[in-house]
Chain A
């Protein structure tokens, strides 16, 4: 009886957790008009998280798995992760970029004169990054005729990650130029400030 009550309490706990999460709410403003400050906060947040993921991916590709921190959990690593580092890095980068596109789309449209254009510009850059990485992954599928070609393929694939990463901060800076009203919001937002600092460090 006591055991059954405990399990009832656990189910109630899960329901409570789901309800609390629902009450916290998510911030899906996709398609809606939001304040410039809120938009800047969301977009820079999404781009910043994405940069963090790409940094981790680059670190994983650089570091051999035998000493990488990720192997502290013995059952967690996959053979793909061990042997196809570049490919799995690209796959993870694509996944991270898809998540970033989702975050950018959820940010909505800033309520400035050129807000729609700004949102489109960022969304277009995000989707473009996804295409670039998709293409880089496809290029790895083509069989290389020579060793030189194979090395070039790997170089191009890694270069694609570096290129979309560098373009992220630039895309936001471009929006600030085309929409002066957004420039203040992008300057004052804490996530944008953090993003600028991290990009500066890099």
Chain B
């Protein structure tokens, strides 16, 4: 393996992400496309896969959310949330991350989060809360939900590895859920004080002065459209249906399995179907004209996010698909040499492969082989949230695009994005609390060796 070549390719990826985040908007996707072209034509790499599923989910979710906005539903949600948060508006910084975390637990995928990004943004803005605080925290909490979800792909990868040590699904959840709850709280606490207040933010003031964004209307001044409540009910019913079908595998429609027989349909097409249906129902029952939907703010920011994700994720996948083995080998060697770095190695593998499942299947067995207790490995496994280290994930891009105030940013130097601070707080606190839980409740190391029994 020519490490110089891998490093050069890595520099191309980082360089074009940097160019993209400086351009902002769809510039991110366009520069990602240029980066892909250079990786393929100059370095001769096989092109990776564009993130088709995520892009289609964004289209479906944005259609539903934009239809709801056209029907006045977003205004209604903002009004209700503002009334609920009247005494303590800043509670949004805590509630939003926990709601996003719960959505991932129920569906096993972070893609459901796309549906509440516009709502979190609007509620924060209407309450004059710096949207970055709630949006960045929620994005991280949402990714953390993967290690707490019984129906997530990464959990399915982990369980066969730790079952031999008598850790079943319940044991794993007893470690990851409380640890994540504490981690999210610590993150939300810091984020609720992070950055200047919205009205003092320079970028926001510039945008208001330039007329790029309107100051938030007071919740009391919002005039509701006639079918606003109905559109919210339809939208939330769609989200609830996704959660129910995501959590209860047995009620999903079945599809033909390759090895014969049938198996439950994956959650991804279900999200797309339910969200498109919700959008259609809003059109019919809330008297929204289809032509009004593309004019909504949610639709515009969602489409920009989709193009941005297209280019950036395609470039990242092209690099990763061709170099994943080398990355895993390098970090695996590091963990073998210094086993105390295993949690950091898991985080870095997740960051550089942008895959929680890949980090799980490569690093957890290694940690166990190095003799680290299975319970501790489960606690440190939560470090797979490191997938958010680089700003190349759909949820990060969508959150940044949704925030028209400009406080949620993808950074200027690739790693200085809005999600970095909550990410670092969340994974470190979660891993430490998880380790403490294992130490206290699971008796420390792997199950004790059996007491010698006399041979007759």
Contacts and interface: CB of A to CB of B under 8 A. Distances in A.
Q: Which of A18, A29, A77 has the most CB of B within 10 A?
A: A77
A163 to B, nearest CB: 20
Contacts of B267: 72
B164 A194 contact: yes
Contacts, number: 238
B248 to A, nearest CB: 16
Contacts of B392: 75
Contact of B357 (A44, A50, A76): A76
Given A103-B369, A185-B450, A188-B453, A17 B432 contact: yes
Given A56-B157, A72-B267, A41 B372 contact: no
Nearest to B451: A37
A62 B425 contact: no
Nearest to A95: B362
Interface stretch (A63-71, A116-124, A132-140, A152-160): A63-71
A99 interface: yes
Interface stretch (B46-54, B71-79, B82-90): B46-54
A45 B446 contact: yes
B321 interface: yes
A21 B341 contact: yes
A7 B194 CA distance: 12
Contacts of A99: 365-366, 369
Contacts of B365: 49-50, 53, 96, 99-100
B263 A67 contact: yes
A184 interface: yes
Contact of B353 (A21, A27, A76, A95): A76
Contacts of A180: 455
Given A72-B267, A75-B51, A184-B452, A45 B165 contact: yes
Given A70-B357, A74-B52, A102 B336 contact: yes
Given A37-B452, A67-B266, A79-B49, A52 B356 contact: no
Contacts of A78: 48, 317, 320-321, 324
Consensus secondary structure, chain A interface = helix
A26 B371 contact: yes
B432 A13 contact: yes
Contacts of B354: 73, 75-76
Contacts of B325: 91
A190 B357 contact: no
Interface in B415-456: 421, 424-425, 428-429, 431-432, 435, 444-447, 449-455
B74 to A, nearest CB: 26
Contacts of B316: 75
B182 interface: no
A73 B259 CA distance: 23
A191 B447 contact: yes
Contacts of A115: none
A2 B193 contact: yes
Given A41-B446, A67-B255, A72-B267, 11 more contacts: A13-B429, A27-B371, A48-B165, A63-B257, A69-B153, A71-B53, A72-B108, A73-B357, A75-B313, A75-B316, A180-B455
Nearest 7 CB-CB pairings of A with B: A27-B371, A48-B164, A76-B355, A52-B160, A37-B449, A103-B369, A188-B450
19 contacts: A18-B340, A20-B435, A22-B340, A26-B372, A28-B339, A29-B371, A52-B160, A53-B361, A55-B160, A67-B266, A70-B357, A74-B394, A75-B355, A103-B370, A184-B452, A185-B452, A189-B450, A194-B164, A194-B165
